[in-house]
Chains A and B, each alone.
Chain A
Amino acid sequence: MNDRDMLARMLGPDGPEVTCEECFERLDEYVDAELVGRDPEGAVPGMAAHLAGCPACREEHESLRELVSDEPS
């Protein structure tokens, strides 16, 4: 982990972010928007900041995006 990552982990995102509950509630919408090329942050404002600050939600986002993108369409 480099210095910037280390400090970012401590101080978190600067700006409004959704809660963990809201993140889970709208994670599917956010991921589908990403995968079809819509603006995900426009669909769910504050989601990107939360994913930057919450490792558990970030892992779930990465897993869902990878799982869905691996699916045959």
Chain B
Amino acid sequence: MSVATVGGPQVDSTTSPSEARPLDPESREWLRSLRSDGREHDEAVERLHSLLLRAARYECARRRPSLPHLRGNDLDDIANQAADDALVLILGKLDTFRGASRFTTWAYKFALLEAGVKARRRAWQGREIPLADDAWGAFADPGPSAHDSATTGELLRAIRTAVETELTDHQREVFVALALQEVPIDVLAERRSTTRGALYKTLHDARRRLRAALADHDLGAIS
């Protein structure tokens, strides 16, 4: 079957998350215990929460350098909130687990997502999104190495022109924030009351327009 893609042609895929697969014994046991009643269920939920908290703390530890103003307790609060939110999500989605991976791998991704989004947003709390006019300054001097520098400089000028002439206002704003200013996509999504997926679709469409506008340039090295 085919899966949805951003923009361009669809991608052929021979498997789908909707196709049930035989579960490995450990995953089967997780599902059985989480669907049970009473004490067994409560103990399974507690074990799952511990697993999610480990994942969330792992993610917060990875992000510690981007959060220098936070104390250890603050990071642990983010990890605990992420584990709690992931647990609720997972318990509501148990029936969607089809065994395409181990259950624990499937569960971890929810905790990592929750922790990552919370940490990115905390890192940008109180910060303004930089203005578009400031964006190109960092690229004014692409570097001293002779030929590469000239080629890069030429490409950058062509990209800048294409950004100004080929993109819609919305595409330009999203492109500048995400691709030039490196604003985290979850932060921009929160500020714009939209979703990561919707913003990435806009970025993808903008990139396609830019690539089309640069058809006369050699983009082989960055394909």
Residues of A within 8 A of B (CB): 3-4, 6-22, 24-29, 31-32, 42-46, 50, 53-56, 59-60, 63-64, 66-68, 71
Chain B interface size, under 10 / 10 to 19 / 20 to 34 / 35 or more: 35 or more
Residues of B within 8 A of A (CB): 3-6, 8-15, 17, 55, 58-59, 62, 100-102, 104-106, 108-109, 112-113, 116, 120, 139, 142-143, 148-149, 152, 155-156, 159, 175, 179-180, 182, 184-186, 196-197, 200-201, 203-204, 207, 210-211, 214, 219, 221-223
Q: Find out whether the CB atom of B113 lies under 8 angstroms from the CB atom of A24.
A: yes
User: CB within 8 A of A19: which of B156, B179, B200?
Assistant: B200
Residue in A closest to B145 when the chains form the complex, CB atoms: A3
Query: Closest Cβ of chain B: how far from A68's Cβ, in Å?
Result: 5
Residue in B closest to A47 when the chains form the complex, CB atoms: B11
Query: Closest Cβ of chain A: how far from B18's Cβ, in Å?
Result: 10
Max chain A CB contacts within 10 Å: which of B10, B109, B175? Answer: B109
Q: Find out whether the CB atom of B203 lies under 8 angstroms from the CB atom of A12.
A: yes
Q: Find out whether the CB atom of A14 lies under 8 angstroms from the CB atom of B5.
A: no
